[in-house]
Structure 1
C-alpha cells in the first residue's frame, strides 16, 4: 500500500476510533441501566436493544444510497451531527429521570442516526484502495475501531458507577470532536453519477446478486454471535455471576486490545490464504471462545473466552467487508456496503433479542446452554462462508497472485 493511501486510511481509522471510544463510554452499559435502574427484565431489555438495532438496518441502507448519490464525506458529516443532538437528549433523559418512553425515543434516534457513518466510511475506503490493498485497509480500520473499543468501555465502566448521564454527555462531546477532525483531514474523491438517483427499492433488489445475498445471510449469523459480547455477556456476568460493571467493561477492553495488537499480523496471514478459508477459521474461533464462556465463573477464565472470540473478530470483520467490496462495481460500492451494514445491524438486533431470551429462559435451567447455542451458530456461519469459494473468482476470494496463463505464439507457414 502506498504511503499516501496508508495515511488516508489511518486518518479514517482514528476517526472511527474516536467514535467507538465515545460509543464504548456509554451505550454498552445501556442494557445494564435498563435492568438495574429502570427494572426491566433481561428479555425486555434485549427486545429494546434489538428493536433499536433494527432501526439501524433502515438507516444503513439509506446511508449507502446517499453516499453513492451525494458523496461519502457529506453523509458522514451530517450523520454525525444529527447523532450528537440525539445523544445529548438521551443524556438529559437519563439525568432527569424522564419517562421511559421519552428515553427510548431518544435511544432509538441515537442508534438510527449512528448507522449513517459506517457505510459511507467503508465506501470511502473502497474508493481509495485496490482489491489487493483492501484487506490491509479494512484491517487498519479495525485497529482504529478497537483502540476506541479497548479504551471506551474501560473508562465507561468506572464512569457509569457514578453517573450514567455523564457518560452519554461525554459521548456527544467526542462525536463533535470527530466532526472537526475528519472534516479538515479527508477529501472525497468520489464523483457522484448524475444519472444515479437514490433508490431504496433498487438497494433491496441488489440482493438479486446471489453472492451478496449469501454473504449477507452469513453476516447475520456471525454478527448475532458477535453481539453476545455486549448484551449476552453483560446479562451472564451481572445477572448470574454478580460481577461489578467495571469487570464487564474490562471484558470489552480485552476484546478491543486483541484487535489493536494482533490485527496487523492477522491481515498479513489473511493475505496469503483465501478469504473464504480465513472466514471459516475466524468463525470457528468465535465458536470456541463464546461457546466456552458458560462453563466459567471467574474473571480470568471468561477473559480467555473473550480473547479467543476477539481473535475471531479480527479475521471476520475485515474479511466480510473485503468480500463485499470485491464483488461490487464502482457505481454500487456504497449500495453494496450499505446492504452489508443492513444485515450486520439485523444480526446485531437478533443477537441482542436472542441474548435476552436465552438469559431468561435457558440460562436459569442450564447456564452453559445459551453459549453452546451461540457456538453452534458460529460454526454454521463459518461453513457458509467457506462454501462460497466455488462462486468467487480467485481475485474476489483474496488470491491476488494468481498466475496468468501465457498464450503461445502460433507460427503460420506460408
Structure 2
C-alpha cells in the first residue's frame, strides 16, 4: 500500500492548481466528444453520403482546423491564452449544434469547416498555457496525466455514443456542445491569464515578436519534426475516417465500432500513468522510433482483420505505440519552442495535425477505393517503418537544439503575479510556476 501511495504521490503531486483546472476541463470536454468519433458513420449510414463525400467533409474539418491553429497560435501570443480559449470553445459549441441540424451536403461541409476552425483554435492556447504553468521538470508527468484524462473521457464517450446514436444522432451533437460550454465555464471562472511578461509585447499595440514567421520558417530542426509528425498523423487519423468504414464493410455495427475503439482509451487509462517512469532517462529518439514502428504494425494488421476481436487486437497494438509517442512528443515540442514564440510554435505544430486531418480521410478514401483496403493498411505500416528510421537519424540534432534553448525557457514571473499585492502574489507564485498537449487523440 505504501508503494502505491508513493507512486501516486510521485505521479500527481506538486503540480500547480491551474493545471488541475485545465485537466478537469479536458476530462469533461472529452466525456462529450461524440461527434468526431462517429462522424464518418453518421455521414455514410445515417445521411447516405459516399465514402468519398464523407472523406471530403472530414477533410474540410481539417482545413478549418489548419486555419484555426494558425490564427489561434497568433492570438495566443498577442491577445492572450484565456480569451483565445474562451472564444474558441464558445464558437465550437455553436457550430456543433449548427452541424447537427445541417442537411444538404454543402451545409454539412460548411459546418464542418467552421467547427474545425473554432475547435482547433483552442489547441495552441491550451498547449502554451500548460507550458506556462508547469515547470520543465514536471512536464513529462503533467502531459501524461492530461493525456490520461483525454483518453479516459474518450473511452467513455466512444461507448456511450455508440448507444446514444441509436436514440438519434442529434443527441450526439447536443451533448458534445454542452460539454464544450462547461469547459469554457471552467476556464472563465477558474483560470487566469498565464501569458508571461517575456512573451508579451514591449508596448501597447506592438507586434510581438517581430519576425516570428521568418524565425519558424528557418527553423529546420523544428520543421523537420513537424513533418515527421504530419506523416504519423496521416496514419493515426485513419482510425477516425477509414477504420469505421472498414468495420462496416465487415458487417459490424456502429456500437461495435464504439466498443472496439474504446479499447484505445481503456488501455491508455490503465497504462499511461506508468509510461513516464518507463521511458524516463531513455533516448527520446529511440522511444519515438519504437512508437512509430509499433503504430505501423498495428495499423498494418488491420488489412487482415475481419472480426471484432481482430480489429480490437489491432487497436491495442497501435495504442501501445501511441502511449509511447505522446509524452515524448509533448516534452520535445515544449523544449523546441522559444519562450516568446510559444503560441506560434504550438500553432505550427498543431497545423501538422490539421493538415493531416484534411488530407488523411480524402487520401485514405481514394487509396481504399482505387487500390483496395489491404493496400491502404499495408501502406500505413510502411510509413511507420520509414518514420522510425527518420527519428533515429534526426534525433541528435533535435536534442542539441533543445539543449541550446533550455536556458532560455526557465521559469519567469507571470504577468498576473506582477500586478497582485504581496500576499496574493506569493500564493500565485506557488500555484503558477515557472506544453502542448500532444495531439493526441485529436478531437
Assess same fold via TM > 0.5.
Answer: yes
Q: How big is each residue's C-alpha offset from its partner over 1:327-353, in whole Å with a ceiling of 9 and x where there is no partner?
A: 121101111111000011112222211
Alignment-derived partner of residue 389 in structure 2: 383
Alignment-derived partner of residue 269 in structure 2: 260
1:193 and 2:203 correspond: no
Alignment-derived partner of residue 12 in structure 1: 22
Alignment-derived partner of residue 53 in structure 2: 44
Residue pair 1:284, 1:382 contacting (<8 A) in 2 also? yes
1:321 and 2:326 correspond: no
Residue 368 of structure 1 aligns to a residue whose secondary structure is helix
From 179, 187, 191, the equivalent of 2:184 is 179
CA distance in 2, matches of 1:258, 1:204: 41
From 31, 39, 54, the equivalent of 1:30 is 39
Residue pair 1:43, 1:359 contacting (<8 A) in 2 also? no
Residue 292 of structure 1 aligns to a residue whose secondary structure is helix
The alignment of Structure 1 onto Structure 2 pairs a total of residues equal to 390
CA distance in 2, matches of 1:174, 1:43: 30
TM-score by length of 2: 0.83
Cα 1:389/1:100, change in 2 over 3 Å: closer
Q: How does 1:44-123 map to 2 (within 5 A)?
A: 44-93=53-102, 98-123=103-128
Deviation at 1:389, TM superposition (A): 2.1
CA distance in 2, matches of 1:200, 1:38: 48
1:393 and 2:402 correspond: no
CA distance in 2, matches of 1:393, 1:34: 44
Q: How big is each residue's C-alpha offset from its partner over 1:203-257, in whole Å with a ceiling of 9 and x where there is no partner?
A: 375131011110110010001111011111111101x202000011112211111
Residue pair 1:289, 1:308 contacting (<8 A) in 2 also? yes
Residue 230 of structure 1 aligns to a residue whose secondary structure is helix
Residue pair 2:368, 2:375 contacting (<8 A) in 1 also? no
Cα 1:50/1:103, change in 2 over 3 Å: closer
CA distance in 2, matches of 1:145, 1:386: 29
Deviation at 1:6, TM superposition (A): 5.1
Residue pair 1:123, 1:337 contacting (<8 A) in 2 also? yes
1:208 and 2:223 correspond: no
Alignment-derived partner of residue 343 in structure 1: 352
CA distance in 2, matches of 1:351, 1:168: 23
CA distance in 1, matches of 2:80, 2:123: 13
Structure 2 gaps, min length 5 = 1-9, 407-443
Residue 306 of structure 2 aligns to a residue whose secondary structure is coil
Q: How does 1:108-257 map to 2 (within 5 A)?
A: 108-191=113-196, 192-195=199-202, 197=207, 202-203=212-213, 206-238=216-248, 240-257=249-266
TM-score by length of 1: 0.88
Residue 116 of structure 1 aligns to a residue whose secondary structure is helix
Residue 49 of structure 2 aligns to a residue whose secondary structure is coil
Deviation at 1:379, TM superposition (A): 1.7
Residue 398 of structure 2 aligns to a residue whose secondary structure is coil
